[in-house]
Structure 1
Amino acid sequence: MTRTFLRSDELHDLVAEQFGSNSRLTGLDRLTGGSKKGVYRLGLDDQTTVILYVWAAGENYWPPSPTVPDDPFTDASGAELFAANHAALAAAGVRIPRLIMLDRDGRYLDADIALLEDAGALRLEALMERDPAAAAAPLSTLGDALRRMHTTLGPNYGKLAAITRGEAPQTRPTEDVIVDRALGHLDVSAARDARLADAHHRIAAHVHHLRDGVSPRQAYALVHGELGPDHVLVTPAGEPVMIDFEGVAYFDVEWEHAWLQMRFGEAYPALRPVELDPHRLELYRYAQVLSLIEGPLRIADTDFPDRRWMLDLAEWNITKALAAI
């Protein structure tokens, strides 16, 4: 598809109403990294900047795929999820960008939008690579925030927006949801890669074997869903600021930590995690490997600008999936 992104002349009314009729837009930069929504840095003539989120079809690179109906991490994008999750994280004492304005009525654009504080351009990932010593304090503070999240408990699992709407709670064991999700990812990926097709039965058997080791449990915590050091900004004052949190849900804390272990690597112990069930963690870790094959292969079939990176990510996880069996 031919994509058209936001233009400066489309933001005149937004800037005038939110910052004063004499304010002028001096810069508009579409930031890289987002694949489900548009993220723009707006420069104003008083030398300040703000961040604009735009939820529009033309900003979303992800094609549809078969999903598990009660998987709370499916379709984790949109202004409704953003609003519910922003409120929940703020209530849990997690540092997130300050919300300036949320518009779901099309007052300014033909899309849902949000204006946010600009917490800066430095990602924790870059700081960890450039200066591990300087990253120690933000990592410790992030660990504190994660423990506040992971000790914020709810009686049911699911998207916060659905829980807020009073929808009927999900009743299947979370581990069964993840097994179905993993096997669905395997089916789709095996249709694209002969190695996975050849190993399909062995991989599926491994997933079921891991599931058999998981004991029943009903304790659901507030989790980000896919938190990596690229989803944390570090302000000039050294504060870690959590972003990209539309996937926040109540779910098993092991789902979060399987992702954290993978993404933070050697720095993971600095987060000082809560107590985890090793069997549940192992199932979720392997399910995420399969997810990181299916998703990258799917988006690589689109016009996503960094297709090679996605294919390399899928290849890395194919190797991991096959090594486990």
Structure 2
Amino acid sequence: MNKVVVGLSGGVDSSVAAAVLHHQGYEVIGLTLWLMKGKGQCCSEGMVDAGRLCEELAIPHHIVDSRDVFKENIIDYLVSGYEAGVTPLPCSQCNRAVKFAPMLAYAQQELGTDKIATGHYARINYDQQSDRYQLLKAVDPNKDQSYFLYDLTQELLAGSVFPLGNQTKEETRRIAAEFNLATAEKPESQDLCLVEAHGNMQTFLDRFIDQKEGDIVDMAGNILGQHTGIHHYTIGQRRGLGIAAPEPLYVVKLDAVMNRVIVGDRNAGGRLECTVSRMNWVSIAEPTAPIRAEVKIRYRSKPVTAQIIPLGNSRIKIVFEDHQFGVTPGQAAVLYSGDMVLGGGIIEVENKSE
């Protein structure tokens, strides 16, 4: 009998992943990482729901205290990023450093298996020709989470299973109802776990970052208003600026050194290129020459065609075919070729539009 460790957050997706594998005859062991206190999945409330599921399925349930790992890799990472005027994307870092790598290590060292499963909507394919595991989009485009998984290594892909990758969210709900799972009607998680736990991102950040007021200025440096702290703003933001103008204004830059929020019209926020660091080439070997790829600069953004220029030292330059609005330092740029995730990294530099 095959043994698999299933990461359980207490939500319907991970619950169905465990139930389906259990139904297929796998020896399933539930594993929940205790990341922080509070409401929502990944918190103490999620652990209770995960424990209830394991009772329903009559499978073992292990809980690992990962709060220190989560604080170091996610909370400290977020706070330092916002203080520096960037908008970090915690999910991809959390998946690799906090969830998948520690889960696989725990499964191997403590539970005697080299397979873990999660409720992520994505797919994994092994390509014999290249001798590499490939990360693919999920069948359901509305639930695809491959964008957040670009930082997984070959070792982690080899040890991971995504039981939900070939089905829709509606099918997941239907399966949960068929198994009479307590999580079948549990509401969808809409925000980051930190937002769920603290109400909103601003409330969370205000616990760690002092509110330092400063100027909101236009592209010429004219003062238009005051801000309550640059960590309350992000590139592309339009609402909540508290300034009046004859045309819509957007945040186009956060100046941490001068403590300024710089705003402009939509054209001022366009970028033809950007530099990306900490690249992880997940499905292909690192290219040595320029390639063309489809790029997503936000989870919900549409892929756009661009030229990818390798710079060495895990850095690339992305040259877009058209100006892109909202290219945000700290967010992930993920490269695709059709359904396959080529790789991804962190947007490092804003280059002014030409």
- Larger relative contact order (Cα-Cα within 8 Å, sequence gap ≥ 6): 1
Answer with 1 or 2: which has the greater Rg.
2
Give TM class, smaller chain. under 0.3
Name the TM-score, length of structure 2 as normaliser. 0.23
Higher helix share goes to which structure?
1
Name the TM-score, length of structure 1 as normaliser. 0.24
